[in-house]
Amino acid sequence: MAGDLVPGYVPIKAPRGNTRTAKGWIQEAAKRMLMNNLDSEVAEKPEELIVYGGRGKAARNWECYHKIIETLDRLENNQTLLIQSGKPVGVVETHRLAPRVLIANSNLVPKWANWEEFDRLDRAGLMMYGQMTAGSWIYIGTQGILQGTYETFKSAAKQHFNDTLAGTITVTAGLGGMGGAQPLAVKLAGGVSLCIEVDASRIERRLKTRYLDRATTSLPEAIALASDAKKSRTALSIGLQGNAAEILPKMVQMGFTPDLVTDQTSAHDPMWGYLPPTRADEDVNTLREQNPKLYKERVNIAIVNHVGAILTMQKRGAIAFDYGNNLRAQAKLAGVDDAFSYPGFVPAFIRDSFCEGRGPFRWVALSGDPADIAKTDEALLKLFPDDVRLQEWLRFASGQVAFQGLPARICWLGYRERDRAGLLFNKMVREGTLSAPIVIGRDHLDAGSVASPYRETEAMLDGSDAVSDWALLNFATGIASGAAWMSFHHGGGVGMGYSQHAGLVAVADGSDEAEERLRLCLTNDPGLGVIRHADAGYEKAQRIAGERGLDMPSMKP
């Protein structure tokens, strides 16, 4: 495999089972989760330490990776390991209830917060891009985004298509780590998807893991398949090999208008993530290396054509939305003045959930035993009998979603729900119902820990989109509440200069200490999401804050 060519690369599999070599379960969990992020079943390019999202990495280089693993094995229960952009830079004495690892990824002083400066530092070996859950060691493969993508398409269906995508076609692009969830999510919502992807191996991967039904290299064939399925209201996903910057304009020329149009190429990183069309005799990496300026011009032209086609489709009646990859901002920089004529997915479909602190909550079985996840699924079905979407999702996921790496599950839970789930898992570990501890984390697609004006905080009611005090408060609150490890990142999702966000992970090992940590951090973390939205003036968040007992001094008469 390609990885054999990279010095220092050995395929990685996290240890399984309930025997640990580290001095505590948190250290063991951090080690296994870092390894799991780089498992070849999980990571998109493990040999380059790239987990997902363009060049989102788990460690700066292989030397750093091995040093982190060694350090986690010797780390005492009153020490904290400090990670600076993927490099283990220090171990400090703290106390038992402190996080065992603190991580800062890709943070730059605002005036220098751009890809040019990041790239300079990256080339000098001084930084890495942590994306969101890559550099915070809680990525679980494409399932991690599947329910969120499903929630998004379900909300779109509810708003625009009588609650189902049956009889509709969605056109999108990008079948990478996150984008690969789109075909299955649209299918789950009843619709037909036509997913454009340049890289044949990504299409192959999604076919193999049953995220995609069919694949073709022919646009007319793809359109015919999609149109037939639309007519018969059959849910179907079709992968089309090609470049979105060429295919979408061709669709426009042919007069083909989908019902929904979006995109999940890695446009947040125009130099490395978004690929311009190339001739058969051209290699994209050589082009970029030989003439970066010319290469960037080609990317800009591609993005202009791509977004131009989305805007035309929108004018012809398609529901267009940006899927959190900053394509609109790149298009605007490249000269498309009306690029922001279509909304981001958060204000369009997700904000209402954020007002309840609701968002993607995930957990991983350190045993490696899928039976442990099956037991947690059962437990949550009983714990939240009235949550219809959760019931539907967990029943579907337990039967249909293939695990990648350590068995894991995701579901959307909000304030005063996550703590109940975490405490229940801790009890199940304590009583031996589960055969090893459970790691609990969340995405950075989150209500209270992210400042990202073109994504999570786009179009906030009070105009506070770019205020990142909230992300810092979340980071500090997680630490004060005894998270197992916390991270603070810049640039995730949308790229350098566009976001700041914090990640939280907790561990349920059945102990009293874990109970205390879980109770605090799984209450306070989503609580901040409600506070952030209540403070911005969202009535729903204000109501939830009142009903669920959040203390907000500024809301008191």
Q: 312 by DSSP, 3-state: which?
A: helix
Contacts of 401 (CB under 8 A, 6+ apart): 143, 146
The annotation places the binding site at 53-54, 131, 177-179, 197, 202, 243-244, 264-268, 274-275, 323, 493
Distance in angstroms between the alpha carbons of the first and the last residue of the chain: 65
**Binding region for NAD(+):** 53-54, 131, 177-179, 197, 202, 243-244, 264-268, 274-275, 323, 493
Nearest distance from residue 197's CB to ligand NAD, in Å? 5
Question: Which member of 64, 195, 355, 411 is catalytic?
Answer: 411
Q: Is 185 exposed, middle or buried (0-12, 13-18, 19+ CB in 10 A)?
A: buried
Compute CA distances 423 → 367, 375, 545, whole Å.
18, 15, 21
Q: How far is the CB of 177 from ligand NAD (least distance, A)?
A: 3
- In the complex, least distance from residue 196 CB atom to ligand NAD, rounded to whole angstroms: 5
Cα–Cα distance for residue pair 256/250, rounded to 1 Å: 9
CB of 385 to ligand NAD, least distance (A): 28
By CB under 6 A, name the binding residues for ligand NAD: 44, 52-54, 145, 148, 173-179, 196-199, 202, 243-245, 264-268, 273-275, 302, 323-325, 445, 493
CB nearer to ligand NAD: pick between 197 and 509: 197
Q: How far is the CB of 477 from ligand NAD (least distance, A)?
A: 23
Which residue carries 């369009």 as its tokens? 348
User: Are the C-beta atoms of 128 and 57 separated by less than 8 Å?
Assistant: yes
Nearer to ligand NAD, 230 or 444 (CB): 444
Closest to 135 (Cα-Cα) out of 68, 202, 74, 72: 68
Angle at the Cα of 317 (from 273 to 196), degrees rounded to 5? 30
Nearer to ligand NAD, 53 or 482 (CB): 53
Between CA 206 and CA 294 the distance in angstroms is 32
Which one, 82 or 271, has the nearer CB to ligand NAD?
271
Query: Is 355 one of the annotated active-site residues of the chain?
Result: no
Q: What is the DSSP letter of 339?
A: G
What is the spatial distance between Cα 326 and Cα 324, in angstroms, rounded to a whole number? Answer: 6
When CB distances to ligand NAD are compared, the closest residue is 176
> What residues are paired with 84 via a beta bridge?
87, 104
Q: Which residues are catalytic?
A: 411
